[in-house]
Each structure stands twice: as C-alpha cells, then as structure tokens.
Structure 1
Amino acid sequence: MFEVLVYVYENYWRGDACPEPQQLGRKLTAVGFEADEIQEALRWLDGLHLASHKPEQQPGTLPALPANSTLALPATDSLRVYSVAEQDHLGAECLGFVSFLETAGILAPSMREIVLDRAMAASGNPVTLDDLKIIILMVYWSFGEEPDALVLDELCDDASDRVAH
C-alpha cells in the first residue's frame, strides 16, 4: 500500500488535484500496481479525505464550543496519552518521532490526531518509521501543504545511509 501512496504523493501535487477514486484506481492499475494494494490504498485515502475535511481538523482551527461549555483550549503543556492499542501498533520509535515533530512545532495537534488515525488504519504491526513518515507526508498533502524544506528532508531521507560522527 505504501508504494501506491508514494506514487500518488509524487504524481499529484495536492490532495485536491488527485482524481476521483475510480479514475485513480484505473490509473494505478495502468501503472502496474496490484489490485489488492490499490484497494487498500484507496480505502486508506478515503479515510484520510474524511478525516482531513472535518472542519475541526483544519490546521489552526478549533471546533466550535457551546456558549455554556466549560471545556477549555488545550494548554501548551498538555500531554497526549496513547492507548495500549496505539502503543502496540505504532511502537516506541514512531511515537517518539511524532512527539519530536509535535514539540518542534512541526505537527499541530489536529494534524497529529489525523496522523495517528491513519497510522492505526495502516497495516503492519508495529508500523515502521519509514511508513509513518509517508503517512505524515500524506497528511500534509491532504491539506495542500508542503512541510518546511528541512522537515521534508527528514521525512524523505533514508536514515540507514547516515554515518554517526
């Protein structure tokens, strides 16, 4: 599935430039992807579309609260607690990377939740860090945003080729 997502990311510059699922499926078949990979990727992309087009999920926006609500905005020092299922499916390396991006100000809490949702919908147990990076790129892509050049380099870089100093 992730090879299909990378192809979509590289060939459609924004989520809204991507064709409808049926047409995209035909194009992916013509390129040579397997039918089961295409179907899995299309289901995943449909979930991404649904999650990224909820008004409360738009970066920089917050859901409207009733006038009598006692809920407050999240504090800057608030903590996201991961469920056991999330911990098992994502693993320490992926959760650490999400935390790194969030504390660096690169991944807004609303986008983090979409990343976690889509990571939980992905196959693999645990999800690999490389697959998580593709998920993060796809979340940015769905909002029509491109991460900062240094972030993009980190998300696209193969860390196995790095030499420790």
Structure 2
Amino acid sequence: MFEVLVFVYENYWRGDACPELEQLGRKLSAAGFNVEDIQQALSWLDELNLASHKTELIDISQSAREHHTESAHSMRVYSVAEQDHLGAACLGFINFLESADVLSPHMREIVMDRAMAIPGHPMDLDDLKIIVLMVYWSIGLEPDALVLDELCDDADRVAH
C-alpha cells in the first residue's frame, strides 16, 4: 500500500490536485498496482481526507475564539496500544518533529490516527515518514526543505 501512497504523492503534489477516489483508482490500476493495494490505499486516503477536514474545522473554530494556545508544559501521553503499534523509533521521530516545531498537535493527531489504521506492529519508521508526508500533502502544506529531506531519506521510495 505504501508504494501506492508514494505514487499518489509524487504524481499529485497537493491533495486538492488529486482526482476523486474512483478516478484515482482507475489511474492506479492503469499504472500497474494490484487491486488489493489500491483498495487499501483508497480507503486509507479517504479516511485521511476526513481527518484533515476535521482538523481544518478545529483550526477555524479555534481562530474564531480568543487565541487558544497549548500550554508549553502540556504533553501527549501515548496509550499502550499506540506505544506497541508504533514502537520507540516512530514515537521518537514524532517527538523529534514536534520539538522542531514542524508537526503541530493537530497534525500529530492525524498522523497517529492514520498510523494506527495500518495493520501490524511495530510500524516501520520509513512507513511512518510516508504517513507524515501524506498528512502534509492532505492539508496542502509543503514541508520545508530540511523536513522534506528527513522524510524522504530513502531514495528508493520518494523522489522529491
């Protein structure tokens, strides 16, 4: 499935440039991906779109209120299931991105949601990097060059 996601990212630079899922499915089939991988990826992308849309609504509603900022002392506590599923390397990478201020709390929660939707554990760090990249993609943000380099350090997977 991750090869399909990489193909989508490389061919549709922004989520809003991506065709509807049915048309995308036909294009992925024509590109030679197997049906099971396409179905998994389309379902995953649909859920990503829903999660991204919810985040946009949260951001809009928070902007309408007085400026609400997270306390500098707040901390995300990961459940045992999340710890088991992601493993130390992936959780450490998420923490690294947050501490570098390149992954907002809302984006982190989308990453967590989409990572938890992937079967098997512990999750491979390269797969998590694709998920982070797809979260950026889905909300129409291009990570800065250093973040993009960190996310795409496996030359065989993403060519940006």
TM-score (norm 1): 0.86
CA contact (8 A) 1:48 1:118 kept: yes
Secondary structure of 1:58's aligned partner = helix
1:45-98 Cα shifts (integer Å, max 9, x gaps): 0000000011xx13992645xx9xxxx753122110000110011000000000
CA RMSD of aligned residues (A): 2.1
Taking the TM superposition and a 5 Å limit, the aligned residue runs for 1:143-158 are: 143-158=139-154
Q: 1:121 to 1:6 in 2, by over 3 A?
A: same
Moved more, 72-81 or 26-35: 72-81
Structure 1 position 126, deviation (Å): 1.2
Bigger Rg, structure 1 or 2: 1
Partners of 1:128 and 1:52 in 2: how far apart?
23
> Segments of 4+ in structure 1 off by > 4 A?
none
- 2:80 is aligned, of 70, 84, 87, to 84
Taking the TM superposition and a 5 Å limit, the aligned residue runs for 1:10-159 are: 10-54=10-54, 57-58=55-56, 61=59, 63-64=61-62, 73-158=69-154
CA contact (8 A) 1:58 1:110 kept: no
Q: Match of 1:30, as an amino acid? A: A
Q: Match of 2:59, as an amino acid? A: T
Gap regions ≥5 residues in structure 2: 156-160
Q: 1:77 to 1:59 in 2, by over 3 A?
A: farther
CA contact (8 A) 1:59 1:110 kept: no
CA contact (8 A) 1:90 1:119 kept: yes
Gap regions ≥5 residues in structure 1: 160-165
1:84-132 Cα shifts (integer Å, max 9, x gaps): 1100110000000000000110100000000000000112311100000
TM-score (norm 2): 0.89
Secondary structure of 1:96's aligned partner = helix
In percent, how many aligned pairs have the same letter?
70
Moved more, 120-129 or 87-96: 120-129
